[in-house]
Amino acid sequence: MFRNPLRLHTGQKLGRYELLAPVGRGGLGQVWVARLRGARGFNKLVAIKALLPAPGDAPQMEQKLLEDVHVAALIQHSNVAQTLELGEQRGTLYVVMEWVDGEPLSTVIQSAEQGGGVPLLVAVNLIGQALRGLQAAHEQCDDAGARLGVVHRDVSPDNILVSYSGIAKLVDFGISRAKSQDRTLGRDNRVERRFGYAAPEQVIGGMVDQRSDLFSVGVSLYLLTTGRHPFQGPDSAATLRNIVGDDPPPRPSTLKANYSRTLEAVVMKALEKDRDRRWPSAEEMRFALERGVPQAFELGFEAQLRTFMQDTVGERGLRKRETIKRAEIVVDAGAGEASGGTSSTSVTSLRAIAVNTGPMRSDSIAPAPAPVSRFSMMPTLRPLLARSVAPPRLRRPLLALAFAGATLAVGSLWLPASGKAPSVGASAVSPMVDLNPARSAAVRPALAPSAAPAPSASVGATAVASGKRARSAP
């Protein structure tokens, strides 16, 4: 399937879906926002994750994708982004997923920094929603009614999407595992990408289970409610040592005045190094949150969530929707010219709206992306098209003029919340639909380049305990 992978570009069709713009890459593939068109003007946006080639490891990646998609498609819950379809076209596998009209929680955290951070009640409610989604995944059974033992293994603010109406959805079960399908789970010591949210047993390559996900939830809740990562170290090795060491993180009440002691008890129990002392299930942790901070779950709190999202990232949402609409105009114009026998304008338009895979300047036009084997988040770009939509009879000449002299690239579906440069690579493409690579230092533990894990290394418990450089496999 990897010998002649498709060269994906804007306007291309994968099965019945029409690619509009690339939004990210990471994990196993590249993610696009795409459109499904039906009769009588029916349109539906979806996210498509296309498996990228990886010479030498193709069979394992393909099998991994197939197993993960099978499990993910079984999970049906309002707090989990839905997996809709698995397709294949000319040797390229792709997964069709629900398009979440919102932002990664990491982006919400960054955008809220200017206003003093995410309000405590909002933070608790969003984590409570994520716990609902986790419980659904953890309880997933096979056709015979036996639990699959699904573990997400990568719960972090990057993989919690929040819609503009305030609904939190878990994404990227792309590195999840069902025990019945992976007999090497206990020996899998790969701590992929966001190891700062990994449980101690993940870091040292021990057995993982649902309680490992709850540790990751605890890290996210601690960060949301204190503004600090509980195990942040000066470099990656120090962060790993803090995670696997015996010492607990500072109690939130020592960092933030008037921090609820009830909430603190919930957070600290989730962050227990011994998983037998953690919350036994996502449901019990959520119940404890509801008892400890009942105001965050009161009837009608959804209105406060909507208001918060509108005030924090509402403008970004408007720009994103506008960019998608303009991408549709470009694709429609290209399709019309192709059917009429004139394709020069459409080719220029489609190339201009595509996104390349490397660092992008605002004064460059990106060609259609070539297949790659390394995954990092797509750069943030700026909209190319004008604010107003020209009448149909003027659209073609205006498009030709715009793209002939274009100096701005299109592709990302929103602008960064601040002027900071992107600090890290992908949400696991997550981040499937994580479109913004910009991350604040508070969201993701700082990784010193010299101490970053080597691609083929593993993290050993002995090395960490002795203070040697900790390493993890990608």
pLDDT digits (tens, 9 = 90+) for 47-58: 998 876 655 556
Higher pLDDT residue, 367 or 104? 104
Higher pLDDT residue, 22 or 131? 131
Query: What span, in angstroms and rounded, lies between the C-alpha atoms of 309 and 321?
Result: 15
Select the highest-mean-pLDDT range: 169-178, 278-287, 324-333, 393-402. Answer: 278-287
- pLDDT, residue 366, reads 30
Q: What is the DSSP string of 228-291?
A: S-TT--SSHHHHHHHHHSSSPPPPGGGTSTT--HHHHHHHHHHT-SSGGGS-SSHHHHHHHHHH
> Side chain identity at 6, as an amino acid letter?
L
Structure confidence at residue 6 as a pLDDT band (50, 70, 90): confident
With a cut of 90, say whether residue 391 has pLDDT above it.
no
- pLDDT, residue 251, reads 97
Looking up tokens 């990057």, which residue turns up? 158
- What domains appear along the chain, each with residue ranges and CATH number? 13-98 (3.30.200.20), 102-305 (1.10.510.10), 315-404 (no CATH)
Query: What span, in angstroms and rounded, lies between the C-alpha atoms of 360 and 408?
Result: 10
Structure confidence at residue 64 as a pLDDT band (50, 70, 90): confident
User: What does the block give as tokens for 367?
Assistant: 């060609």
What are the phi and psi torsion angles at 14 (to 5°)? Answer: -110, 110
- pLDDT, residue 368, reads 33
Angle at 252 between CA 290 and CA 310, to 5 degrees: 60
**pLDDT tens-digit readout, 393-407:** 444 444 444 444 433
Query: What span, in angstroms and rounded, lies between the C-alpha atoms of 140 and 329?
Result: 41
pLDDT (mean) for 166-173: 91
Query: What span, in angstroms and rounded, lies between the C-alpha atoms of 206 and 185?
Result: 8
Residue pair 389/372 in contact by the 8 Å Cβ criterion: no
Q: What percent of the chain has pLDDT over 70?
A: 62
Query: What span, in angstroms and rounded, lies between the C-alpha atoms of 293 and 285?
Result: 12
Structure confidence at residue 110 as a pLDDT band (50, 70, 90): very high
Higher pLDDT residue, 361 or 195? 195
What are the phi and psi torsion angles at 161 (to 5°)? Answer: -90, 140
- pLDDT, residue 92, reads 83
With a cut of 60, say whether residue 381 has pLDDT above it.
no
User: What does the block give as tokens for 31?
Assistant: 């993610």
- pLDDT, residue 30, reads 82
- pLDDT, residue 354, reads 36
Higher pLDDT residue, 126 or 399? 126
pLDDT (mean) for 418-447: 38
Return the number of other C-beta atoms located less than 10 Å from residue 200's C-beta.
Answer: 22
In 122-270, at which residue ranges do the beta strands (DSSP E only) sit? 160-163, 168-170
- Which residue, 468, 457, 466, 446, is CA-closest to 239? 446
Q: What percent of the chain has pLDDT over 90?
A: 47
**Is pTM, for the whole model, over 0.75?**
no
Structure confidence at residue 39 as a pLDDT band (50, 70, 90): confident
Query: What span, in angstroms and rounded, lies between the C-alpha atoms of 224 and 302?
Result: 18
User: How high does pLDDT run on average in the chain?
Assistant: 73
Residue pair 161/81 in contact by the 8 Å Cβ criterion: yes
With a cut of 80, say whether residue 457 has pLDDT above it.
no
- pLDDT, residue 118, reads 97
Query: What span, in angstroms and rounded, lies between the C-alpha atoms of 2 and 288?
Result: 48
**Cα dist from 305 to 95, 115, 145, whole Å:** 30, 15, 36
Looking up tokens 């639909």, which residue turns up? 433
With a cut of 70, say whether residue 364 has pLDDT above it.
no
Query: What span, in angstroms and rounded, lies between the C-alpha atoms of 269 and 266?
Result: 5
With a cut of 70, say whether residue 174 has pLDDT above it.
no
> Side chain identity at 92, as an amino acid letter?
T
With a cut of 60, say whether residue 4 has pLDDT above it.
no
- pLDDT, residue 337, reads 59
What are the phi and psi torsion angles at 454 (to 5°)? Answer: -75, 145
Higher pLDDT residue, 116 or 437? 116
Scored b (16 or more CB within 10 A) or e, 289-326 reads: beebbeebbeeeeeebbbebbeebbeebbebbeebbeb
Select the highest-mean-pLDDT range: 54-58, 87-91, 241-245, 351-355. Answer: 241-245
User: What does the block give as tokens for 309?
Assistant: 């999202």
